[in-house]
A = this chain, B = another copy of it.
Amino acid sequence: MSTPSTSSAISAAASVGAVTPQTARFDVPLPLRCGRELDGFELVYETYGTLNAERSNAVLICHALNASHHVAGHYADEPGNTGWWENMIGPGKPVDTRRFFVIGVNNIGGCHGSTGPLSINPQSGRAWGGDFPLVTVEDWVDAQQHLANHLGITRFAAVMGGSLGAMQALAWATRYPERLRHSVIIACTPSLSAQNIAFNEVARQAIITDPDFNDGNYREKGTAPKRGLRVARMVGHITYLSDDEMAHKFGRQLKNGRVGYTFDTEFQIESYLRHQGNKFADYFDANTYLRITRALDYFDPALEHGGNLAAALKPVQAGVLVVSFSTDWRFSPERSHEIVHALLKNRARVSYAEIDAPHGHDAFLLDDPRYHGLIGAYFERIHAEVAP
């Protein structure tokens, strides 16, 4: 086993470079938890690195709320459009693409190319819009499993994600236990709390009550519920940052140095939130946002086992790494402990780390040396297992 990359080595590491998304079409029915079924579906994905001859070095990256299949690298015609986990995945990075074949995939119900509300409903010949079914974490994992088959991957070296992505990594370990060696679960919770659901509900109500929502069929009407999506994103952003990080980044700083007694932007934090809201409302689809927040709400593997999480996680065969962040008040370390305790109860192989990071939930996306050092070291171990 070689020495784990040091933090400075990681910072200096290169990118996977220019990448090209691909589309896989699956002409098989996909039954969904809601009782409906897709006759077939497409998944957009990207890959980085090379699948080895043994097909043992594949790592699936599952995305969270607003992300996509574009995990690392950039597009040749859009050099500034880098992947959302560029600091984590690449040559010499914690998930080292010189060793691992890494796959990013956009989930069904999404708005980045996979079958979703923007796609054509083959039965009507028109875009699905508000008629697209509600999807769940388990549906996503089932769809991803078809992609694994398509790529000839019987067993992933690891399935990995943060936040909602981590829920998928956990669902993989229970639904397809023999198909992954490791599950890497970062900033996760075994189920949303009432407060988590409450924030999602505020976001949804902002969208649904926007007069431009039109029951989800806004594209047909030539409208878009941008006002609602903007407010939804603003409220989301508050929950991604810790109180301290917000205080550190913005505090009570005034935009123009003095109070103007107006409802325009007075404080820097307002400027930041409005900017985030506007940006998001311009590129994200409201029907997707509604579905993704509902998928979060519904995720609750223990529910079918009378609330017994250990029973729900009984099928897990993978080695599991659980990582939480001290200041994450959205999915607090205590919620990660529930996952760890359930796995320990089952005598599963589980490692746990709580990273003392100031950034709140968003920490899982940031370049913290201890966090990246830990993930790098864990993938060193995986490499040692899977290297021929």
Contact = CB atoms under 8 A, between A and B. Distances in A.
Nearest to A268: B194
Interface in A129-153: 133-134
B199 A252 contact: no
A30 to B, nearest CB: 15
Given A202-B235, A231-B202, A273-B202, A263 B197 contact: no
A337 to B, nearest CB: 15
B230 A273 contact: no
- How extensive is the interface on chain A, given as a class? 35 or more
Contacts of A249: 194
Interface stretch (A78-86, A205-213, A343-351): A205-213
A201 B247 contact: no
Given A227-B209, A263-B208, A194 B252 contact: yes
A290 to B, nearest CB: 6
A365 to B, nearest CB: 19
Interface string A289-305: 01000100110100100
Contacts of A209: 227, 230-231
Interface of A: 33-35, 133-134, 191-195, 197-199, 201-202, 204-206, 208-211, 227, 230-231, 234-235, 237-238, 241, 243, 246-247, 249-252, 259, 261-263, 266-267, 269-270, 273-274, 277, 290, 294, 297-298, 300, 303, 329
18 contacts: A33-B261, A134-B261, A193-B246, A194-B243, A194-B247, A194-B269, A195-B246, A195-B247, A197-B267, A198-B234, A205-B230, A205-B234, A205-B273, A209-B227, A231-B231, A235-B235, A252-B300, A259-B298
